Structure 1
Amino acid sequence: MGQTDEINDYKLGYHVTPPKGLLNDPNGLVHFKGVYHVFFQWNQTDTTHQSKSWGHVTTKDFIQWKSYKPALEPTDWYDKDGCYSGSAVVFNEEIYLFYTGNVRGENGERFSYQCLAVSKDGNYFEKKGPVLEHPIKGYTAHVRDPKVWQGKAGKWWMVLGAQKENLVGDALIYQSNNLVNWTLVGPLLDEPLSLGYMWECPDILRFADTDIFSFSPQGLEVEGEKYRNIYQSGYFTGHFTENGIFKKNAQDFKELDHGFEFYAPQTFVDDVGRTILYGWVGVMDPKVEAAVPTRKQGWLHALTIPREVRYENRKLTQYPLSEIANLRETSPIIIESSQNEVIKLPSLQQDILIEWSSVAPDFVINLRNEIEICYQSKTKKLSITRTNWKTSIREERATFLTHELTELRLLVESSLLELFLNHGEEVFTLRYFVDETDYLFSFKNLGEPMEKRMMLYTLRSFEIEE
Structure 2
Amino acid sequence: MKEATWSTAARYQPYSSWAPDYIMKLKAQVAASKWRTKTHVQPDTGLINDPCSLNFFNNKWHLYYQQFPFGPVHGLKSWAHAVSKDLFNWRRVPGDLLPDNEYDSHGAYTGSALVTHGTLRLMYTGNARDDQWHRHSTQLGAVLGADGRLFKDPKPLILTPPTGYTQEFRDPFLFNYEGQTYVLIGGQRPDHTGAILLYAKQTDKSWRFVAPLSIPDEFCGYMVECPNITFINGKVVLVYCPQGLDQDFFEYENVYPNIALVADSFDPTTGNLTHQRLQNIDKGFDFYATRLANTDDDGTLAISWLGLPDTTYPTDDDGWAGVLSYVRQLTLRDDHVCLYPHPAIKSLRETAVENLPVIQQHDDEWTVTNLEGAFELAFTLAAGQKTTIHLPDGDHDQLLIHLDSDSGQGMIQRENRNNGGSLRQFGFPAGETVEIRLFIDVSVFELFIDQGYRVVSGRFFGNEAPTAARITPPSAASDVASWNLKKDNGGL
TM-score relative to the length of structure 1 = 0.91
CA distance in 2, matches of 1:249, 1:197: 22
Q: Give the stretch that moved more between structures: 116-125 or 256-265.
A: 116-125
- Given candidates 260, 280, 286, the residue that maps to 1:235 is 260
Superposition deviation, residue 360 in structure 1:
5.5
User: CA offsets, 1:319-349, max 9 Å, x none?
Assistant: 1111111211225445578852233342111
- The one-letter code of the counterpart of 1:121 is A
Structure 1 360/301 Cα, relative in aligned 2: closer, same or farther at 3 Å?
A: farther
CA distance in 1, matches of 2:491, 2:243: 37
- Given candidates 203, 206, 215, the residue that maps to 1:181 is 206
CA distance in 2, matches of 1:224, 1:138: 26
Within the alignment, does 1:402 sit opposite 2:429 as a pair? Answer: yes
CA distance in 2, matches of 1:276, 1:439: 31
What does residue range 187-266 of structure 1 map to in structure 2 within 5 Å?
187-189=212-214, 191-193=216-218, 195-223=220-248, 226-238=251-263, 239-251=265-277, 253-266=278-291
What residue in structure 1 maps to residue 162 of structure 2? 136
CA distance in 2, matches of 1:122, 1:420: 38
User: Contact 1:335 / 1:455 at 8 angstroms: preserved in 2?
Assistant: no
CA distance in 2, matches of 1:179, 1:220: 38
Q: What is the DSSP-based 3-state SS (H/G/I as helix, E as strand, rest coil) of the residue aligned with 2:475?
A: coil
- The one-letter code of the counterpart of 1:364 is T
- The one-letter code of the counterpart of 1:310 is T
CA distance in 1, matches of 2:363, 2:233: 40
CA distance in 2, matches of 1:157, 1:376: 44
User: CA offsets, 1:372-415, max 9 Å, x none?
Assistant: 11123342111111122146x96211111134351111110110
Q: What is the DSSP-based 3-state SS (H/G/I as helix, E as strand, rest coil) of the residue aligned with 1:353?
A: strand
Q: Which 5+ residue runs of structure 2 have no aligned equivalent? A: 1-26
Structure 1 124/118 Cα, relative in aligned 2: closer, same or farther at 3 Å?
A: same
What residue in structure 1 maps to residue 343 of structure 2? 322
Q: Give the stretch that moved more between structures: 366-375 or 6-15.
A: 6-15
What residue in structure 1 maps to residue 19 of structure 2? none
What does residue range 70-89 of structure 1 map to in structure 2 within 5 Å?
70-89=95-114
Structure 1 111/258 Cα, relative in aligned 2: closer, same or farther at 3 Å?
A: same
What does residue range 247-396 of structure 1 map to in structure 2 within 5 Å?
247-251=273-277, 253-286=278-311, 289=312, 292-330=313-351, 331=353, 332=356, 333-334=358-359, 339-356=364-381, 358-359=382-383, 361-368=385-392, 369-390=397-418, 395-396=422-423
Structure 1 443/64 Cα, relative in aligned 2: closer, same or farther at 3 Å?
A: closer
TM-score relative to the length of structure 2 = 0.86
CA distance in 1, matches of 2:446, 2:126: 32
What residue in structure 1 maps to residue 455 of structure 2? 427
User: CA offsets, 1:261-307, max 9 Å, x none?
Assistant: 10000111334142111000110544xx1xx2323332211100000
CA distance in 2, matches of 1:99, 1:201: 11
What does residue range 32-111 of structure 1 map to in structure 2 within 5 Å?
32-111=57-136
Structure 1 67/210 Cα, relative in aligned 2: closer, same or farther at 3 Å?
A: same
CA distance in 1, matches of 2:338, 2:90: 26
User: Contact 1:131 / 1:182 at 8 angstroms: preserved in 2?
Assistant: yes
User: Contact 1:73 / 1:83 at 8 angstroms: preserved in 2?
Assistant: yes
Q: Give the stretch that moved more between structures: 49-58 or 394-403.
A: 394-403
User: Contact 1:360 / 1:406 at 8 angstroms: preserved in 2?
Assistant: no
User: Contact 2:202 / 2:208 at 8 angstroms: preserved in 1?
Assistant: no
What residue in structure 1 maps to residue 176 of structure 2? 150
CA distance in 2, matches of 1:224, 1:463: 46
